[in-house]
Amino acid sequence: AGLSSNTLSLDVELAEKIRTLPGVKFVTPIAQYIQNTGTGIGFRVTEGIIFDSYAETTGIKLVSGQAPQNNDEVIVDEEYAAEKKLTVGSQVKTLDKTFKLAGIYTPVVGSRIKVRLSMLQELLSAENHCTMLFVRCLNTKDQQAVAKQISETTTDIQIIFTSDLPRLYSQGLPALDVFLNVLVALSIFISTLVILLSMYTAIVERTREIGVLKSLGASSTFIIWTIEKEALVIGIIGVLIGHGLAFLSRLLITSFTTLQNIHFEWEWLVITTLVGIIGALVGAIYPAIYAARQDPVVALSYE
C-alpha cells in the first residue's frame, strides 16, 4: 500500500511509527519531484529514496554499480539505461542539474531516475519530510487490517493500495474509457464494412468465374468456403499490419517522449487478433452467400 499527501508534507518519522504496527514488514519514505522535460511531450518524475529500505520494500536489485553515496549521484533502471545508452559513471541530467550515474537497478519500479532522499529534501527545503510512504505487509491478505491501523495512528493522509492504481487511473480519466470503447466499436464496424464491400466488389467482377464453378458442379458450401478463405487471408494480413503499426507507435513514443515503460499485454494481442479475423469472416458472409446463390446460366452470360 502507499500513503500520499501533498508534496513533501509527510514527516519521515511517521515511517518509524508505522513500522511497529502488527502486519507491517517494511516501510520506506519516498519524495517525488515532477518537472517538464523541456523536449518532447510529457513530464519527468524524479524520486528521492533511502536505497536500503526502498530495496527491501520494493524488491529492486542493483545489476551494476552501487547505491548513491552522495547527493550528486543517481541510479536508473536497466531499461532506461539501455534506451539512453548509459553506463555506470555516465552523466544524467535531471532536476536542472547534472548527476553521476552510480548504479543501475532492476526491475522498473516507480520513476526511472532516483536520487537520495536528502537531495530532494535539500532542493525543496523540506528536511525530514517526504511525499509518500510505501508500506509492504507481511501478508497481502492483511492489507485492509494494516490500513485500518495506519488510519487510526495518524490523520490527514490518503491510503492507496497498489492493486487499486489501475482503477484510480481509469476513474481519473472517465471520458478516456468511453472514447476508447467508441473508437474500438467504430474500428470493428468500419473494418467489417470494408471487408464486405471489397469482397462484394470482387465477387461481382468474378461473376463469370463463379458461373463456371457452378456449372462444373461446385456446391454452395465450396463457393462460400472459398470466399471465406480469401477473407481470412485479408484479415490475417490486416492484423499483422495493425500489430506492426502498434509496435512502431510504441517505438516512436518511447523515442520522442518521456513515456518509456510501455508494454503490450499478450492477452489483448490475442483478443485483437481474434476480433480482426472474426470481423473479416463476418464481413464476407453476405458476399459469400450472394455468390453461392448465383444462377450458373445467368452468371455465365454476365458481361
Rounded percentage of the chain residues whose pLDDT exceeds 70: 89
Angle between helices 165-172 and 174-205 (to 10 degrees): 80
Report pLDDT for 100. Answer: 96
Classify residue 1 as exposed, middle or buried by CB count within 10 Å of its CB (0-12, 13-18, 19+): buried
Q: Which has more pLDDT, 217 or 29?
A: 29
Confidence of residue 264 (pLDDT cuts 50, 70, 90): confident
Residue extents of the structural domains in the chain: 2-172, 174-300
Distance of CA 134 to the CA centre of its chain: 22
Look at residue 212 and tell me whether its pLDDT is greater than 60: yes
Q: What tens digit of pLDDT does each residue of 1-52 get? A: 444 333 688 899 999 999 999 999 999 999 998 887 655 555 778 999 999 9
Q: Decide: 192 and 238 in contact? Cβ < 8 Å.
A: no
Instruction: Quick: pLDDT tens for 130-158.
Output: 999 999 999 888 888 999 888 887 767 78
Give the model confidence (pLDDT) of 232-241 as tens digits. 999 999 999 9
What is the reported pTM? Answer: 0.62
pLDDT tens digit sequence for 73-102? 999 999 889 888 999 999 999 888 999 999
Quick one: the chain helix, strand, coil %, rounded to 5? 55, 20, 25
Contacts for 145 with CB less than 8 Å, ≥ 6 apart: 23
